[in-house]
Amino acid sequence: MIVNFSQRAHNHNFEADWAVRSLLDTDFYKLLMLQFIWKHFPDVPVTFGLINRSRTVRLADELDETELRRQLDHVRDLRFRRSELIWLAGNSFYGKRGIFEPEFIEWLAGFQLPAYRLERRDGQFELCFDGSWTQSTLWEIYGLSIVNELRTRKALGRMSEFELDIFYARGKAKLWDKIERLRGIPGLAVADFGTRRRHSFLWQEFVVQAMAAELGNSFIGTSNAYIAFKHDLEAIGTNAHELPMVLAALADTDEQRVSAQYRMLELWQRTYGGALLVMLPDTYGTTQFLANAPDWTTGWTGIRIDSKEPAAAAEEYMDWLVARGADPRDKRILFSDGLDVGEILRLHGRFAGRVKHGFGWGTLLTNDFRDCHPRGAADFDPISLVCKVQEAAGRPAVKLSDNYLKATGPAADVAQYRALFGTAGVANVPVVV
């Protein structure tokens, strides 16, 4: 796909380019989780909220609120297209056909996002999404994509046509250099995980097509369901932190709260018939998760590592497998937090032959224009923007993480959860994105 990014930006013809073009323009795991929620917790009321961890970037001072509302309203008007529903119903995902139930596909045909709440406070936007869990969960990725792309557009609008030419030429050269370093690496498996903090939809699509064309079988697919649908690529993803966060919030006792992370896995396994068995153990700390995990969890395919120093987390998981009589070479580890090409190569070199492994490459694949501005401005440095579930059934939802800096929830509740789950293996790790 050839896109003249600089000319498009110079003409400022953004009104025809919606930041989100389809309800399928989301991470694939959100759709898998949506079906899980639809089956088991359809009426639980939840609230999601935007969190800007890069507090020095004052988004409410930087972005046009009217345009933000226009983009959000557009997504509320979207519906799943018939061709998209046919793809979900009939395509094979992870080698399994019919992973989405006919009744769920029928329900999706009438799906509409609920209203949002948007306010300004202390230079930041307070953007919240309330409603039943089934209705509000998909707002997460759309909200993040919109805010990130509007920040991109604002910065592009401050540049001349010549500056834009240089900027995008450097961005393409930077992408090429990354691809060149990965080309021909035996056993490499890399997927695009960059939807939520992408530079723009068009740039993510361009990057994915470039990776697919240049890396061949080493590029295993994209988390973006719309791009996978549009370009006949593998859709990648399983589940995320919001599931154990909500189940823990719904728990009535400390015992139920600790076991909620395993109850979620049990329900997931039942929902998908033994497929998609990748654990995400760091919601309340990987060390405690593994120490208390039921024996049947060793039968799962593997884990995704998100917030712990990745090599340390991988070694911890592999030691856990060996202690329980499982061979790490039969399991899979997906690295996914703050990756860039150097870290991918380092981890691949360390774990090749010891465990099956792959890389979910996010922000620094689809939004890395650092040092590309011809005048040296940092306008395009990616920020750490997340959208997390904040309440479930009126109760605070908490995430502890393996990284103290990534904990979310009211301070008092975070402290209570830490007292309950412990802090073994938790550390302060720099938050890249």
For residue range 258-270, list pLDDT tens digits in order. Answer: 999 999 999 999 9
- DSSP structure string for 364-379: HHHS--TT-STT---T
Domain assignment present for 427: no
Domain assignment present for 379: no
Q: How far apart are CA 226 and CA 314, in angstroms?
A: 31
Q: How far apart are CA 46 and CA 388, in angstroms?
A: 10
Domain assignment present for 75: yes
SS3 106: helix
Contact 433, 362 (CB under 8 A): yes
Instruction: Take residue 255 and report the two structure tokens written for it.
Output: 């015992």
| pLDDT tens track, the chain, 433 positions | 567 888 788 666 566 689 999 999 999 999 999 999 999 999 999 999 999 999 999 999 999 999 999 999 999 999 999 999 999 999 999 988 999 999 999 999 999 999 999 999 999 999 999 999 999 999 999 999 999 999 999 999 999 999 999 999 999 999 999 999 999 999 999 999 999 999 999 999 999 999 999 999 999 999 999 999 999 999 999 999 999 999 999 999 999 999 999 999 999 999 998 889 999 999 999 999 999 999 999 999 999 999 999 999 999 999 999 999 999 999 999 999 999 999 999 999 999 999 999 999 999 999 999 999 999 999 999 999 999 999 999 999 999 999 999 999 999 999 999 999 999 999 987 676 6
Domain assignment present for 432: no
Domain assignment present for 380: no
Instruction: Take residue 286 and report the two structure tokens written for it.
Output: 């990987």
* Residues of the domain holding 195: 5-373+385-421
Number of domains in the chain: 1
17: number of Cβ within 10 Å: 13
Domain assignment present for 426: no
- Encode pLDDT of 263-322 as tens digits: 999 999 999 988 899 999 999 999 999 999 999 999 999 999 999 999 999 999 999 999
> CATH number for the domain including 32?
3.20.140.10
- DSSP structure string for 270-333: HHTTT-S-EE-TTSS-HHHHHHH--GGGGGS-EEEE-SS-HHHHHHHHHHHHHHTT--GGGSEE
Count helices and strands in the chain by DSSP H and E runs: 18, 13
Domain assignment present for 78: yes
Residues whose CB is less than 8 angstroms from the CB of residue 241 and which lie 6 or more positions away in sequence, other chains included: 280, 282, 283, 306, 388, 399
Domain assignment present for 226: yes
Place of tokens 């309330």: 130
Contact 241, 403 (CB under 8 A): no
